[in-house]
Structure 1
Amino acid sequence: MAIENLNAFLYDYFDAHNCQILNNQNGVLQVKLTEEIDKVLMNRPFYWHYIKNMGREGDTATLNLITNPDKRDEKGEWIHFGSPRLQQILKSVVKNERYTKLFQSDNSGKKSALYPWLVVNIRISYQGKQNKDEIVSFGLHLIKGLMYKDMMEKLDSITLKPAIDDYCYTITPIIKMSSGFHRIEKVLDSYINNQTHDWADESLQTLNEETALVKHFYTSSADEEENNEHMEQEINDIRQRYSPKVSYSVINGGIFYLMDDFH
């Protein structure tokens, strides 16, 4: 995910939770939290317990989140994939907002059909010598079978609501949800396989080098039986640490009913 996308993800998260966006320029997002999100992100239960017992209105935190590498030395939190704050937000999304149903708004006053899309946000985890996460989104038209990657970016330009507008009606899906997920998985597998995996080659090289060093150390010692046991344990630890792995998990998703001219 590019820096702009990460910034947009953070903006959308806080905006959806009615937090006040104080500033959003050049990869620096300043936001005033609501009480609800303060309790989720700031980990200060004793403060809120005290405030409630006193019958007072609490002062919520203001966050300054930086996603632009050129600005990372400025005052604030440097946010990147793997950073604790981002992981905290993603866990919050997974826990509280795993599935949704939204409808495109239509102010035309005409009778309009809305077509079903399966939209899924997925976190890809690359694990090896260096770990990183990537967030991708897919949208599958549950009638035509059309699929888009970076679906959330395409949805930025339209207005979505939790309730359907008057005069609008929904079209019943033809593609079943299970089949839709399977199609997205196949495209996701292809996306991962078509990448260059220099990180995996580097991880394997480090694994082989570390394994060779351990073997050299233990084979030069006297107590062979005891050393073999320790050597195998250390080699197993090295394999666990450096063996390259790719896994992915669904962050959230839902059914989005959109107009036929959406593209």
Structure 2
Amino acid sequence: MKVEFASDRKREEIHSFGVSLATGQFVERFQERLVNLRMTPRLPPNIHLAKNGLTLGKALAAIEGSLEKKLRGYDYEWAKEASQRLEEELAQVAHYYEPLIAGAEEESKAAIAEQYERRKEEIRWQYEPRVTASVINCGIFHLEGIG
């Protein structure tokens, strides 16, 4: 999964998880375990699959829960700083547009006010801190065990 920490600055992290659908066992940094394995797209002969003890939905919920718990422990000082930069930038834009709107003729006030609102939206999009997580890759692997 890719976790993106974004504001006017950006940082990304990649997190890799494995969940056994048979046992529910959970492993972090799963990609590191897969790198050295030789895999084929077919099951070996005489291998029988056990019934899943865990659904894909429950496995995903376990991954999301683990990632959320991990992210709660992070330092979010960067978000406070980004919010402060956002407020400073909005104040500068207000300092420019508000007198411009007040001194404008009636027929151009609406256009200037609309431009001001668009500019504030752009600034919020650029500076507002946000954390997003997205799946970048997934698969089902039949392994002897992930423990």
Report the TM-score, using the length of structure 2 for normalisation.
0.82
Q: Pick from 219, 242, 246: which aligns with 2:131?
A: 246
C-alpha distance 170-205 of structure 1, shift in aligned 2 (>3 A): same
Aligned to 2:90: 211
* SS of match in other structure, 1:133: strand
User: Do residues 154 (structure 1) and 33 (structure 2) align?
Assistant: yes
Per-residue CA deviations over 1:189-244 (Å, capped at 9, x if unaligned) read 22222211233222211111100111122233322872544332221211011111
Q: Could you tell me which runs of 5 or more consecutive residues in structure 2 were left unpaired when the two chains were aligned.
A: none
C-alpha distance 207-224 of structure 1, shift in aligned 2 (>3 A): farther
CA distance in structure 2 between the partners assigned to 1:232 and 1:224 by the alignment: 18
The one-letter code sitting in structure 1 at the alignment partner of 2:139 is G
CA distance in structure 2 between the partners assigned to 1:256 and 1:171 by the alignment: 13
Q: Pick from 88, 108, 118: which aligns with 1:233?
A: 118
CA distance in structure 2 between the partners assigned to 1:158 and 1:195 by the alignment: 32
* SS of match in other structure, 2:143: strand
CA distance in structure 2 between the partners assigned to 1:219 and 1:135 by the alignment: 43
Aligned to 2:22: 143
Length, aligned pairs only: 141
Aligned to 1:134: 13
CA distance in structure 2 between the partners assigned to 1:224 and 1:131 by the alignment: 41
CA distance in structure 2 between the partners assigned to 1:224 and 1:236 by the alignment: 24
Instruction: Say if 1:203 and 1:242, in contact at 8 Å, map to a contact too.
Output: yes
Aligned to 1:38: none
The one-letter code sitting in structure 2 at the alignment partner of 1:207 is L
Structure 1 segments (4+ residues) deviating >6 Å:
none
User: Do residues 223 (structure 1) and 104 (structure 2) align?
Assistant: yes
Per-residue CA deviations over 1:141-166 (Å, capped at 9, x if unaligned) read 11322211211002234332212223
The one-letter code sitting in structure 2 at the alignment partner of 1:187 is S
What is the root-mean-square deviation in Å for CA atoms of aligned residues? 2.1
Report the TM-score, using the length of structure 1 for normalisation.
0.49
Tell me which protein shows more helix as a share of its residues.
2
C-alpha distance 224-145 of structure 1, shift in aligned 2 (>3 A): farther
CA distance in structure 2 between the partners assigned to 1:232 and 1:163 by the alignment: 57
* SS of match in other structure, 1:253: coil
CA distance in structure 1 between the partners assigned to 2:45 and 2:4 by the alignment: 42
C-alpha distance 224-137 of structure 1, shift in aligned 2 (>3 A): farther
Per-residue CA deviations over 1:113-162 (Å, capped at 9, x if unaligned) read xxxxxxxxx22222211123222111011132221121100223433221
The one-letter code sitting in structure 2 at the alignment partner of 1:223 is A
Aligned to 1:258: 143
Identity %: 29
**RCO higher in structure (CA 8 A, sep ≥6):** 2
Q: Could you tell me which runs of 5 or more consecutive residues in structure 1 were left unpaired when the two chains were aligned.
A: 1-121
* SS of match in other structure, 2:2: strand
CA distance in structure 1 between the partners assigned to 2:40 and 2:129 by the alignment: 41
